[in-house]
Structure 1
Amino acid sequence: MTNSKHRLHRDVEQLTGIQPARNYQNIEALETAVRYIKGEFERLDCEVVEQPFKVDNRTYKNVVAMFKGQSSAERIVVGAHYDVCGDQPGADDNASGVAGLLETARLLHEHKPDLKHDIELVAYCLEEPPFFASEAMGSAVHARKLHEQQVMVRAMICYEMIGYFSDEPNSQKFPDPELAKHYPNKGNFIVVVGKTGQEGYTQQVRDLMRQHTSIDVQSVNLPAGFGLVGLSDHRNYWKYDINAIMINDSSFLRNPHYHQTSDTIDTLDFDKMAAVVEGVYGALTKL
């Protein structure tokens, strides 16, 4: 776990240090992020490719790493976006998620588990506004290509903000008083988020994570249009009837630095981040 903690810190440090901010307008900054992510994947025992796509006459890129399993009939996709909203460092949103993605790849490389399915790890561009909820999202491009190629996707896991935690009472907010009755009021847990109808898969991922990590893992299923449920890249896999969920620290319901210039590396808890990744990695090898 210690190695994971230090590697996660290095990843977030690298990504948040990119200037200017890695938003959709700063193509060279995005390219710097691509080079870093691709370079880290290329150190590992996996196939690495770029997936370029054009939006408004600019070329953006997803970065894809594939770990082969016993059967190539089905695939599990794990993703995180590397772009930020506006001119801010984006430590939690979403350097933390990308760091989790890279560390998941490293754990697959180091432990070489007996994978039942291919695992495809994808770093997406253009998750943030003004492209959010549009067909220009990198994850929408990726999901559409898989559909066109008739790839059978068993499941999708999205790392979205996994670094901000607090042990302070009432540090966890809720969009609905009913929800508050069922969850801790301290923001020191991680949530597996799925839409209504995905209860079985959401709870399976939660239970598998709990077996492999020390952090408190909760789950929630809510209608697709409700609050946080569809606020990341997993949303683009739902239209193809893929079980897609988000691993999330609850974003602006906990983190006061969301989409602010104060979303910096010193606000993150790397021990808990490492525990989250350990849980996701454990779940991945059993799904």
Structure 2
Amino acid sequence: GAFSETPGSQRYPVPFGLIFPSTADFIAFVGLPGSRSFLHEVMASFRRHTAFPSIGGVAPDALVPGIGWSDHWAFRSFGFPAIMVTDTALFRYPHYHLPSDTPDKVDYERLARITKGLERLVREVAP
């Protein structure tokens, strides 16, 4: 994961920058319309298990291209509830999918905190 404490380090597609933080120090939970209640359940569980900053919301794929692209797509296509968990990739990290995207740029301490919260979330929420 890529993170920064610098104000202005986080960008968004319009209009999300008007309501979400400008500092890239959080993890985001993103769903498509119809997954709102599952999104709330997932975020509540994550926040019970870690104090790591998190935001979340739902939006149609037509409004924000890419919401439906990630690994959660396959689960949704088979009828499983699914939420994308993201550091927002290209909206904060200039090396996304480039040769310069190397392991030394990963914030392993923050990634470990997120992973611990997600592991506990999955144990709590999974059927």
Normalising by structure 1, we get a TM-score of: 0.42
Instruction: Within 5 Å, give how 1:121-270 maps onto structure 2.
Output: 163-176=1-14, 178-225=15-62, 226-270=64-108
1:27 alignment counterpart: none
- Following superposition, the deviation at residue 231 of structure 1 comes to 2.0
Which residue identity lines up with residue 69 of structure 2 in the other structure? L
Normalising by structure 2, we get a TM-score of: 0.91
Q: Distance in 2 between the 1:240 and 1:264 partners?
A: 33
2:115 alignment counterpart: 277
Which residues of structure 1 form unaligned runs of 5+? 1-162
Which residues of structure 2 form unaligned runs of 5+? none
Q: Which has the higher contact order (CA 8 A, sep 6+)?
A: 2
Q: Distance in 1 between the 2:29 and 2:66 partners?
A: 11
Which residue identity lines up with residue 251 of structure 1 in the other structure? A
Larger fraction in strand: 1
- Point out the structure with max Rg over C-alpha: 1
Q: Distance in 2 between the 1:240 and 1:259 partners?
A: 28
Count of residues in Structure 1 that have an aligned counterpart in Structure 2: 124
1:128 alignment counterpart: none
Which residue identity lines up with residue 275 of structure 1 in the other structure? R
- Following superposition, the deviation at residue 185 of structure 1 comes to 0.4
The alignment-based identity, stated in percent, is: 31
Which residue identity lines up with residue 196 of structure 1 in the other structure? P
Runs of 4+ in structure 1 off by over 3 angstroms are none
SS at 2:42's partner residue?
Answer: helix
- Following superposition, the deviation at residue 193 of structure 1 comes to 1.3
What is the CA RMSD across the aligned residues, in angstroms?
A: 1.2
- Following superposition, the deviation at residue 223 of structure 1 comes to 0.7
